[in-house]
């Protein structure tokens, strides 16, 4: 390959044994349709192994990759493309660059041009004269990273920004809390014995089938270390970071031990080669305009990159990545300048120069979920954001870590797998949680644990609408535990009460909820969270029975406990506010109703994952109030959000989804009717018709 070395096949082959024959999917099918990649190289030969591997790397990013040796044929091909919905990206051998780029820079079909060439620095100044040239690269590793951000800038904006505590809307971030807890659990799983590792792979890898996932369980670290595979094979680091950024449970479970091994090696290198002086590293990437504004208002707050973070000691390399994304639609290029004080740093990081295929990048790799303080933000005339960060000592936002402490306590369990199952349940990942509870039940010889796990599975079955199976499981657990374990007995009563509630057996449900609360009052081992839950449940049934005064009294009692005992953004407080809002809705006091529902929404938005079912229910309740306030656009907006969220956890035929879909369809019909009419007679009857249509369509569901 005269003039360019796109990929060194000898280096790449070191990790090939760890990758399945079917190439892993870097992007979803939707993302892969966003771009068309055209590769022009005078020396391209599909028979050469290095070209084959390079081509595979590009195919992870796009489902349409064309290769050319002849520049005229290449230009003819790209000018014939008329699909304006996709980005056309030209990857060009440096042999052609200086003669071809001036001729095609203004071709409207081309979004970006990337040049690969060994002598990068000789082309740097030249590239600045052509805005569509996003960079000159010595190898595929850095080129792939730039391509990823060009194709889908939004994919790389999955960060958590936690503002200082005086910024109320921003000081707590739910995705940060849950991703931190998930990271902790996964790293704890990694520390278990080798026999436990083999058992984990046997039980948990096989049931979670995904042919597009890299199998990292069998890597031989005697031949190549975790950092080596991570840094050399782009499909590995892409897939690992994809799993971490998106909290993809299937991916994370499959990669548990590789993530732990990678973290462990970074930690070992960090301790073996300590940095004595202050160090400054850089990272260039795209962020959405919204997140850039959020950074500007969060000076003194914190930012967490929810992935293994690649940085460089060379500012020009990182700036190139930032500038290549400065013109991306809806995004800004951002150059992070990170100052590391070895005296106060709390997170492991290490230079991986000796493991990298491209040592000239001077890469410093941070372990996943490293937290930095936001010191200052400046915007240059060209729109590029300069963000100065500093590595923290672990002393972060007090409110944030209070909630983390509460959540850690709530997911306590006998083993890491118990904790993982509990965490997934609280995240609203019911099917994943059920999978782990079932595996645990099938591998234990303790009858106590079998019945306890049956109870957890029953609670999930009730949530997903399988009441028959839930009833059978709870009945078995109740027969075994009644009177033996007060805390679990109370919880089983609540589980049975929920089944009765969903079956419209209100009196039976109320009786069991009251029994549970009586046990809680008499038992010192039952915590405040359970008491608040039981009081809310009693109030909820009383409200359905139109016993509003008693219902409100129970909600207020629950709220009194919660605001004293829990952080101000605890989901139990949000749940209580929502129940009070629903009560006022039933009393037709819509002003009070929406006030409490908005309080609930504000807390849930910062303390629960965005796809948690509870978020779906609050959107539905808001939609109902907006209907009564004759704000149909708002009602439709919230009901659609409710449906979209709940479909991520439940099947389309789930009773709650069918009910909300009926409500949504009804309001949509009424809105279309309103827009087609201007008569005063129609306006006079619109509210009556709204209620009639909603009642008919909900009953039909």
Tens of pLDDT along 45-92? 766 766 777 777 787 778 888 889 888 898 888 888 877 778 889 998
CATH of domain 153-410: 3.90.176.10
What pLDDT was estimated at residue 23? Answer: 35
> What local confidence, expressed as pLDDT, does residue 635 receive?
94
Q: How many Å apart are CA 573 and CA 559, to the nearest integer?
A: 6
Return the ∠ at Cα 575 (arms to 506 and 615), rounded to 5°.
105
CATH architecture of 9-151: 3-Layer(aba) Sandwich (3.40)
Q: Which of 497, 574, 575, 581 is nearest to 543 (CA)?
A: 581
Instruction: Check residue 355 and give its pLDDT.
Output: 78
Q: How far apart are CA 133 and CA 111, in angstroms?
A: 9
CB 391 within 8 A of CB 370: yes
The pLDDT score that the predictor gives to residue 25 is 39
Closest alpha carbon to 667 in 646, 647, 687: 687
Please tell me whether the overall predicted TM-score, pTM, comes out greater than 0.85 for this model: no
**Longest Cα–Cα distance in the chain:** 85
Q: What is the pLDDT of residue 330?
A: 67
Euclidean distance between CA atoms 362 and 590, whole angstroms:
60
Describe the crossing of helices 571-586 and 613-628 by its angle, rounded to 10 degrees: 30
| pLDDT confidence of residue 679 | 53
pLDDT for the residue 130: 87
**Contact by Cβ (8 Å): 421, 413:** yes
Phi, psi of 194, rounded to the nearest 5 degrees: -60, -35
Kind plus residue range of the DSSP H or E element containing 501: helix 486-502
CA distance 185 to 187: 5
Contacts with 191 (C-beta within 8 Å, 6 or more apart), sequence order: 260
The whole-number pLDDT of residue 596 equals 98
How do the residues of the chain divide into helix, strand and coil, expressed in percent and rounded to 5? 60, 10, 30
Give the gyration radius of the chain's Cα atoms. Answer: 28
**What does the pLDDT read at residue 402?**
72
Q: What is the pLDDT of residue 535?
A: 97
Residues of the chain falling short of pLDDT 50: 1-26, 165-172, 195, 205-215, 681, 700-701
Tell me how far apart the terminal alpha carbons of the chain are, to the nearest angstrom.
65
Contact between residue 61 and residue 28 where contact means Cβ atoms under 8 Å apart = no
d(CA 488, CA 485): 6
Q: pLDDT tens digits, residue range 391-429? A: 877 655 566 667 678 788 888 888 888 999 999 998 888
Contact 431, 419 (CB under 8 A): no
Residue recorded with tokens 């109703």: 593
**pLDDT tens digits, 491-550:** 899 999 999 999 999 999 999 999 999 999 999 888 899 999 999 999 999 999 999 999
Residue 214 is predicted with a pLDDT of 46
pLDDT score at 22:
33
DSSP letter, residue 608? S
Per-residue pLDDT reduced to its tens digit, 659-688:
999 899 888 877 777 666 555 545 555 555
pLDDT the model gives residue 433? 92
pLDDT of 64 reads 87
Q: What are the residue boundaries of the structural domains of the chain, listed by start?
A: 9-151, 153-410, 618-701
Query: What is the reported pLDDT for 358?
Result: 67
pLDDT at position 322: 83
């Amino acid at each position: 390959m005269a003039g360019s070395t796109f990929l060194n096949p000898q280096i790449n082959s070191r990790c090939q044994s760890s990758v399945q024959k079917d190439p892993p999917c870097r992007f979803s099918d939707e993302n892969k349709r966003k771009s068309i990649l055209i590769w022009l190289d005078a020396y391209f030969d599909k028979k050469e192994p290095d070209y084959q591997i390079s081509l595979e790397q590009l195919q992870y990013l796009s489902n349409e990759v064309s290769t050319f040796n002849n520049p005229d044929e290449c230009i003819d091909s790209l000018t014939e493309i008329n699909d304006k919905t996709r980005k056309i990206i030209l990857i060009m051998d440096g042999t052609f660059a200086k003669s071809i780029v001036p001729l095609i820079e203004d071709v409207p079909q081309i979004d970006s041009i990337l040049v690969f060439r060994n002598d990068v620095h000789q082309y740097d100044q030249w590239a600045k004269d052509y805005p569509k040239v996003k960079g000159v690269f010595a190898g595929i590793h850095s080129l792939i990273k730039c391509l990823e951000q060009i194709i889908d800038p939004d994919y790389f904006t999955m960060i958590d920004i936690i503002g200082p505590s005086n910024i109320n809307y921003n000081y707590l971030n739910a995705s940060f809390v849950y991703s931190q807890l998930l990271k902790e659990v996964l790293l704890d799983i990694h520390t278990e014995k080798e026999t436990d590792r083999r058992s984990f792979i046997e039980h948990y890898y096989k049931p979670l089938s995904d042919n597009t996932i890299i199998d990292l369980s069998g890597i031989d670290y005697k031949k190549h270390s975790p950092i080596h595979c991570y840094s050399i094979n782009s499909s590995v680091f892409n897939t690992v970071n994809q799993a971490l950024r998106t909290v993809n449970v299937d991916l994370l479970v499959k990669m548990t031990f590789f993530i732990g091994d990678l973290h462990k090696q970074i930690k070992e290198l960090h301790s073996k080669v300590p940095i004595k002086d202050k160090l400054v590293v850089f990272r260039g990437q795209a962020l959405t305009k919204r997140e850039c504004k959020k950074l500007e208002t969060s000076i003194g707050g914190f930012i967490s990159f929810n992935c293994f973070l690649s940085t460089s000691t060379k500012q020009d390399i990182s700036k190139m990545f930032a500038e290549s994304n400065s013109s991306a639609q809806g995004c800004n290029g951002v150059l992070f300048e990170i100052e590391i004080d070895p005296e106060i740093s709390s997170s492991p990081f290490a230079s991986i120069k000796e493991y990298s295929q491209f040592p000239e990048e001077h890469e410093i790799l941070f372990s996943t979920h490293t937290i930095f303080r936001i010191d200052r933000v400046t915007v240059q005339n060209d729109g590029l954001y300069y963000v100065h960060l500093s590595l923290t000592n672990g002393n972060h936002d007090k409110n944030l870590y209070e909630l983390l402490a509460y959540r850690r306590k709530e997911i306590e369990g006998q083993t890491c797998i118990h904790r993982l199952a509990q965490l997934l349940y609280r995240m609203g990942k019911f099917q994943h949680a059920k999978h782990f509870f079932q595996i645990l039940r099938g591998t234990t010889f303790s009858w106590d644990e079998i019945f306890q796990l049956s109870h957890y599975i029953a609670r999930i079955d009730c949530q997903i609408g399988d009441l028959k199976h839930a009833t059978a499981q709870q009945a078995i657990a109740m027969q075994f535990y009644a009177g033996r374990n007060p805390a679990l007995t109370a919880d089983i009563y609540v589980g049975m009460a929920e089944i009765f509630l969903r079956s419209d057996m209100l009196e039976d449900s109320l009786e069991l909820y009251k029994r549970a609360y009586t046990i809680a009052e008499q038992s010192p081992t039952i915590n405040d969270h359970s008491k608040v839950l039981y009081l809310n449940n009693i109030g909820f049934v009383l409200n359905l029975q139109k016993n509003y005064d008693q219902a409100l009294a129970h909600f207020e009692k629950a709220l009194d406990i919660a605001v004293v005992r829990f952080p101000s953004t605890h989901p139990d407080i949000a749940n209580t506010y929502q129940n009070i809002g629903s009560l006022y809705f039933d009393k037709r006091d819509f002003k009070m109703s929406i006030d409490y529902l908005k309080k609930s929404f504000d807390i849930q938005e910062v303390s629960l994952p965005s796809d948690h079912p509870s978020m779906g229910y609050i959107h539905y309740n808001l939609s109902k109030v907006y209907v009564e306030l004759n704000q149909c656009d708002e009602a439709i907006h919230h009901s659609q959000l409710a449906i979209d969220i709940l479909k991520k956890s439940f099947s389309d035929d789930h009773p709650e989804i069918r009910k909300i879909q009926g409500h949504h369809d009804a309001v949509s019909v009424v809105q279309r009717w309103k827009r087609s009419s201007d008569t005063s007679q129609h306006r006079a009857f619109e509210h009556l018709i709204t209620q009639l249509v909603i009642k008919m369509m909900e009953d039909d569901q």
